Amino acid sequence: MSIGSGGAFASGSRGRALSVTPRPFRARSSSTVSTLRIFFTAMALLLLLCAGHARADGRDGAEKAGRAFEHEIQGILERAGFTVIASSDWNEATLYKTPTPRIVVTNAPYVSIYGHRARIEFLIISGQRQILCEVKHQATEGSADEKMPFIYETARANLGEREYIFVMGGDGWKPGAVTWIRRKAKKTPGFKVFNRDEFAAWVKTL
C-alpha cells in the first residue's frame, strides 16, 4: 500500500484510491447543554436541601434531648419532696411563710454577668438556701463545651446570697472541658458540678 498524491491511499497494482475523509467535530447543541446545566443545578439544590434537613433534624434532636433531661432533673426534685412552681406564680415576698420551704421555681429569673435580666432552668429553695441550677445536655460532641467559662463566670457573679450548681447530661462532653469545670468547682465555694446520678444523691442531702 502506498500513499498517493493528495493524501489518498493506493492499494494494489491497480492503484485504486481509498479516500479517508475525517468526520467533522459536532459540538453539542445549545439545548443539550441547557439540559445538562439544569440537571446538575437540580442535583446541587437537592443535596443542599438534604443537608439542611439533616442539620435541622440534628438541632431538633438535641433540643428534645435537652428538654427530656430537664424534665428528668425536675422529677428528681419532685420525688425529693420539692414543690415545683412556674416563675410567673412565684412571689418572693410570700416565700418564707413556712419556716422550711422546699420549692423549685422553673425558668427562674436572675442577673447575668452582663447585668441584664436572664433566665435559668431552676431555682431551688430549701430552707434559707437559694440555689441556682443550670442544666445542660450534650449527647454528641458539640459546642456546649465552649460555654464552660461563661457558666463558671455566671456562677461566680451570683455567689453570695445564692449558691450555683451545674448539672451535665449526655456523653458528648469533651473530657478536658469536664475536668476544667470540675477543677474550678473544687476551688470555688458555693459552686458545684454534677452529673445526673451525683445530682440525685446531692438532692437527698437538702
Confidence of residue 93 (pLDDT cuts 50, 70, 90): low
Q: 41-63 burial by CB neighbour count: b if 16+ within 10 A, else e?
A: eeeeeeeeeeeeeeeeeeeeebe
In the predicted model, is pLDDT for residue 135 greater than 90? Answer: yes
Helix/strand/coil for 22: coil
CATH classification at residue 113: 3.40.1350
pLDDT at 4 over 70: no
For residue 163, tell me if it sits in a domain.
yes
Domain assignment present for residue 6? The answer is no
Amino acid at 85: I
pLDDT digits (tens, 9 = 90+) for 99-121: 788 999 999 999 889 988 999 99
**Within-domain flag for 87:** yes
Instruction: Pick 163 or 58 by higher pLDDT.
Output: 163
* Alpha helices (H) in 13-29, listed in sequence order: none
Determine, yes or no, domain membership for 29. Answer: no
State the cell numbers at 151: 457558666
Tell which residue, 196, 65, 70, has the closest CA to residue 140: 65
Spatial separation of the C-alpha atoms in residues 187 and 38, rounded to whole Å:
63
Domain contains 107: yes
Report how far residue 170's alpha carbon sits from residue 42's, in angstroms, rounded to the nearest whole number: 39
47-51, 154-158, 198-202: which has the minimum mean pLDDT? Answer: 47-51
Predicted pLDDT of residue 33: 67
For 170, the enclosing helix (H) or strand (E) is none
> Which residue type occupies 64?
K
Residues 6+ positions from 27 with CB-CB distance below 8 Å: none
Mean pLDDT taken over the chain: 82
Please say whether the beta carbons of 106 and 86 come within 8 A.
yes
Per-residue model confidence (pLDDT) at position 19: 55
Q: In terms of pLDDT, which residue wins out, 137 or 142?
A: 137
Is the residue at 156 inside a domain? yes
Query: Can you give the pLDDT at residue 49?
Result: 67
Q: For the segment 157-180, what is each residue's pLDDT rounded down to a tens digit?
A: 999 989 999 999 999 999 999 999
Q: Per the structure, how many domains does the chain have?
A: 1
pLDDT value at residue 80? 96
Q: Which of 79, 165, 99, 179 shows the shortest CA–CA distance to 130? A: 165
Residue 56 lies in a domain: no
Confidence band for 134, pLDDT divided at 50, 70 and 90: very high
Query: Whole domain around residue 164: which residue ranges?
Result: 62-203
pLDDT at 24 exceeding the cut of 60: no
pLDDT for the residue 166:
98
Query: What's the N-to-C CA distance of the chain in angstroms?
Result: 108
Classify residue 114: in a domain, yes or no. yes
Candidate from 73-82, 109-118, 124-133 with smallest mean pLDDT: 109-118
State which H helix or E strand residue 129 sits in: strand 129-137
CB of 163 closer than 8 Å to CB of 170 = no
Count of C-beta atoms within a 10 Å radius of residue 205: 7
180-194 average pLDDT score: 97
DSSP state of 155: H
Burial state string for 135-164 with b = 16 or more CB within 10 A and e = fewer than 16: bbbbeeeeebbeebeebbebbeebeeebbb
pLDDT at 2 over 70: no
